[in-house]
């Protein structure tokens, strides 16, 4: 068990320890099942460069570092992470900032920093989206993500319960070469039909974890006037 996992185990089991960091650590942060899932996605796809949108108290960042195949580069973007309440103890912040390959960007928004990554021609293997849930924010995040993601790269999006997030995901599933990636074999039928049946099926599929995993399958070769209603 690595140090991130040891810290996480303490946070999830020791109520006082967690509250000493922040009173609202949960449900602001991902829960244990979501964290285990994200670590499994990392171990399965072995991304070298991971970008994370939305740090807050850093729980999801800890989960990234709990994976066996830790990324060599981990860019975390959140200019508002200490607003309105900074953590009472900086235990997680201190831990994350010390990890090899971590860049914690806390001046630019996800949209601004992703634009910078695109300008620099940075390529990434996996993005975890858990920042602003406004429709225009998620669409803009995804605009840049689709352009910096390597082919076969993975996007994990939290908050599918939230309509604007779900709508943005549906746009990308229907209009760009993204496909939902299944974990269990029984999900394959459902996944295949998400773009056809629509967002309600996506919601049902994702309900237990509220995380959607998408893969960029091929190069975007849409016609100039392409638009598929979503
Ligand atoms: C739900 S919290 C993230 C929780 C974190 N992923 C975890 O599970 O530990 C959402 C975060 O998104 C950040 N956020 C909101 N708008 C943003 C933006 N435009 N760019 C980057 N981060 C943003 C907020 O400051 C907040 O800390």
In the reported structure, the alpha carbon of residue 100 is separated from the centroid of ligand 1 by a whole-number distance in angstroms of: 22
Please give the average per-residue pLDDT across 92-107, as a whole number.
97
Domain boundaries along the sequence of the chain = 3-216
Looking at per-residue pLDDT, the higher value among 190 and 228 belongs to 228
3-216, superfamily in CATH?
Answer: Vaccinia Virus protein VP39 (3.40.50.150)
Whether residue 191 has pLDDT greater than 80: no
- If one residue of 54, 60, 108 were mutated to test the ligand 1 pocket, choosing by the most ligand atoms within 8 A of its CB, it would be 54
**Structure confidence at residue 122 (pLDDT):** 98
**Structure confidence at residue 198 (pLDDT):** 75
Work out the mean pLDDT of the chain and round it to a whole number. Answer: 92
* Residue of minimum CA distance from atom 19 in ligand 1: 109
Whether residue 190 has pLDDT greater than 70: no
In the reported structure, the alpha carbon of residue 224 is separated from the centroid of ligand 1 by a whole-number distance in angstroms of: 33
Whether residue 148 has pLDDT greater than 90: yes
Q: Are 88 and 21 in contact (CB under 8 A)?
A: yes
Q: How many whole angstroms separate alpha carbon 110 and alpha carbon 18?
A: 27
**Structure confidence at residue 94 (pLDDT):** 97
In the reported structure, the alpha carbon of residue 79 is separated from the centroid of ligand 1 by a whole-number distance in angstroms of: 8
> Alpha-carbon torsion 18, 50, 140, 228, what sign?
negative
**Structure confidence at residue 33 (pLDDT):** 92
Residues with CB under 6 A from ligand 1: 28-30, 53-60, 77-81, 109-111, 130-132, 137
* Atom number of ligand 1 nearest to Cα 52: 6
Percent of the chain with pLDDT strictly greater than 70: 93
Token representation of residue 26: 């949960």
**Stated pTM of the model:** 0.94
Whether residue 87 has pLDDT greater than 80: yes
């Amino acid at each position: 068990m690595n140090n991130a996992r040891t810290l996480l185990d303490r946070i999830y089991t020791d109520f006082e320890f967690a509250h000493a960091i922040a009173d609202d650590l949960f449900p602001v942060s991902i829960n244990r099942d979501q964290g285990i899932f994200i670590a499994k996605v990392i171990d399965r796809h072995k991304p070298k460069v991971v970008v994370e949108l939305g740090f807050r108290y850093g729980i999801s960042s800890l989960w990234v570092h709990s994976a066996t195949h830790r990324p060599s580069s981990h860019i975390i973007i959140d200019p508002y992470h200490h607003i309105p309440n900074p953590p009472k103890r900086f235990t997680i912040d201190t831990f994350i900032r010390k990890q090899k390959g971590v860049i914690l960007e806390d001046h630019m928004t996800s949209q601004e920093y992703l634009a910078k990554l695109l300008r620099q021609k940075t390529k990434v293997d996996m993005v975890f989206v858990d920042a602003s849930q406004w429709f225009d924010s998620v669409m803009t995040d995804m605009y840049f993500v689709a352009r910096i993601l390597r082919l076969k790269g993975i996007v994990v999006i939290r908050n599918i319960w939230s309509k604007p997030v779900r709508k943005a995901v549906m746009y990308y599933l229907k209009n760009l070469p993204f496909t939902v990636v299944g974990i269990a074999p029984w999900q394959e039928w459902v996944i295949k039909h998400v773009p056809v049946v629509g967002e309600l099926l996506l919601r049902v599929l994702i309900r237990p974890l509220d995380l959607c995993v998408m893969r960029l399958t091929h190069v975007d070769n849409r016609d100039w006037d392409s638009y598929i209603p979503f």
